[in-house]
Chain A
Amino acid sequence: MDWPAVLPLFLTASVEWVEAFTIVLAVSLTIGWGASLGAAAAGLGTLAVLTVASGGALSLGLNLHVIRFVIGVFLLLFGVRWLAKAIARQAGLKALHDEDVEFRETRGRLSRGDWFAAWLIAYKGMLLEGLEVWLIVVAFSLQSQAWLFDGATAVIALLLVFVAGLAVRAPLRRVPENAIKFMVGAMIVSFGTFWTLEALAGDVWPAGDWSLLALEAFYLAGGQALVRVMRRGPRRVTA
């Protein structure tokens, strides 16, 4: 069991699967549900192979400090990006991610009616959106060795999103993506900060694992403060 990882992992996966579903839905209108879901399954299969291969390779011969450092830096790269994007969007500096726009753009790319090109768009969409899920699953599982539990958490998120999406047959626009990205970004940066410093300096965090909660509170509160400061500045909304 890897309980500290459940929430960030589930939420990260949910957001990414919502974006993947929008692409799969758009492609299904051109090549049908069977082929579109088949392409998504192929993308998912590639991610599963990637997870097993990278997990096996990274677990071999590396000591815990090196693994922690690599994971910490990866999580910082991921979390800093998500938190910065969520802050920029909440402050109005960047346009919110819109599933309807994503859906229309994907439909536009499919206008030529090429079956294989459409299949590839669904495959690539699933693969690229799922890369961040792969990263989080590998990062947390290398630390906890709870591969099955972490993998299952991501798959449960996938099933929930796709079942909901297939039920409404429309982009899942009501999912509060930016709020989730804000929260997950703060969580992931906290894990990245914690593990990177622990790898560099040993057990230095004053309250041990509980320091993670303090870090999360700091990044959440600090992020909200940044939003307030940026809202007062000049507006220049970018896509």
Chain B
Amino acid sequence: MRAFVKNLFGDGWNIAGVAAIVAIAAGLAGIGRADWAVFAMPVVGLGVVGWLAGR
């Protein structure tokens, strides 16, 4: 079961990183600045990728 879950979602760091990306997008969309999210989300996404790759 653990292998099943890990294969689907990755480890806790991966989930935390994606949660951060989604939180940024949801936060900006929530305050009516979805136009900023268009640029912020990929930048944060790449930052998370870099953080995970360097761990």
Contacts and interface: CB of A to CB of B under 8 A. Distances in A.
Interface stretch (A106-114, A162-170, A199-207): A199-207
B26 A200 contact: yes
Interface residues of B, number: 29
Contacts of B29: 197, 200-201
Where chain B touches its partner, the secondary structure class is helix
A91 to B, nearest CB: 7
Interface string A201-237: 1101110000100010011001100100110010000
B14 A128 contact: no
A87 interface: yes
A222 B39 CA distance: 14
A142 B38 CA distance: 23
Where chain A touches its partner, the secondary structure class is helix
B53 A193 contact: no
A107 to B, nearest CB: 20
Interface size class of A (residues with CB under 8 A): 35 or more
A84 B49 contact: yes
Nearest to A132: B7
Interface string B30-52: 00001101100110011011101
Contacts of A206: 38
Interface in A139-195: 189, 193
Contacts of A131: 4, 7-8
B8 A189 contact: no
Contact of A128 (B3, B17, B42, B45): B3
A29 to B, nearest CB: 23
